[in-house]
Structure 1
Amino acid sequence: MIDWGRVRELRNEIGAKDFDEVAQLFLEETDEVSANLVNNTSPQAIESALHFLKGSALNLGFFKLAALCQTGEKAASLGAIDGIDLRQVAAVYQASKAAFEAGEPTEGAA
């Protein structure tokens, strides 16, 4: 669900303090977009929200969320929003966020 290698890479690139700020900003913005996602009804609004979520997810290593958003974004760009499960996107975001906030598992942990 989380690409911990990407998380470590980003943390190393920008430093631990800045990483914490970037992560906090990401989570705040993504919380808002995710919470409002199921209220979107137009293909353009859904595509825009999924594009934002995908980009944010890729930056912070939320690979499962990014893949789900990419599929939905493509469908929305074609106007095919009926097959997009926005509740699933929101649920995967929440699960990814919880895993991220729990921190990287230590080696040998189940």
Structure 2
Amino acid sequence: MIDWRRVDELRDEVGAEDFREVVDLFLDEVDEVIERMKHHPTHSSVEKDLHFLKGSSLNLGFAAFSSLCAAGERAARNGEAESVDLGQIFDAYAQSRTTFVAKVVP
């Protein structure tokens, strides 16, 4: 679910002091996109939103969530946005977020 090696790499790259700020920014941005997608999804924005979520989540080690976003992005790009299981993507994020926060955020 979480690529803990990537989390450690990011902490080393930005430094322990700035890591928390990066985490908070990531969580805020992703939470905002997820909420928008839950309440105002549009076929035209699904590909763009999933692309953003995929890239952001990879940077912070949310591997399983990122994979689901990548698959959804491909489907949307191929004109199959309605086939994307957003509920599964939202659930994967919620589970990843809970696991991550429990271990990383004091």
TM range (shorter): over 0.9
> Per-residue deviation at 1:82?
2.2
Counterpart of 1:41 in structure 2: which amino acid?
T
Q: Match of 1:58?
A: 58
Give percent identity, aligned residues only. Answer: 50
CA distance in 1: counterparts of 2:64 and 2:36, whole angstroms: 20
Is residue 2:82 matched to residue 1:103?
A: no
CA distance in 2: counterparts of 1:60 and 1:85, whole angstroms: 23
**RMSD over aligned Cα atoms:** 1.1
CA distance in 2: counterparts of 1:27 and 1:74, whole angstroms: 24
> Per-residue deviation at 1:40?
1.2
The unaligned stretches of length 5 or more in structure 1 are 105-110
> Per-residue deviation at 1:15?
0.3
Kept in 2: contact 1:35–1:90 (CA 8 A)? no
Q: Match of 1:107?
A: none
* Per-residue Cα deviation, 1:20-76 (whole angstroms, up to 9, x for no partner): 10010000010010112233122x300011001001110000000010000000110
The unaligned stretches of length 5 or more in structure 2 are none
SS in 2 for 1:82: helix
Give TM-score, length-normalised by structure 1. Answer: 0.89
CA distance in 1: counterparts of 2:42 and 2:79, whole angstroms: 11
Q: Match of 2:41?
A: 40
CA distance in 1: counterparts of 2:47 and 2:17, whole angstroms: 32
Counterpart of 2:62 in structure 1: which amino acid?
F
> Per-residue deviation at 1:10?
0.4
Counterpart of 2:91 in structure 1: which amino acid?
A
Give TM-score, length-normalised by structure 2. Answer: 0.92
Q: Match of 1:29?
A: 29
CA distance in 2: counterparts of 1:7 and 1:68, whole angstroms: 19
- Number of paired residues? 103
Structure whose residues are more often helix by fraction: 2
CA distance in 2: counterparts of 1:57 and 1:73, whole angstroms: 14
Counterpart of 1:40 in structure 2: which amino acid?
P
Is residue 2:80 matched to residue 1:80?
A: yes
Counterpart of 2:72 in structure 1: which amino acid?
G
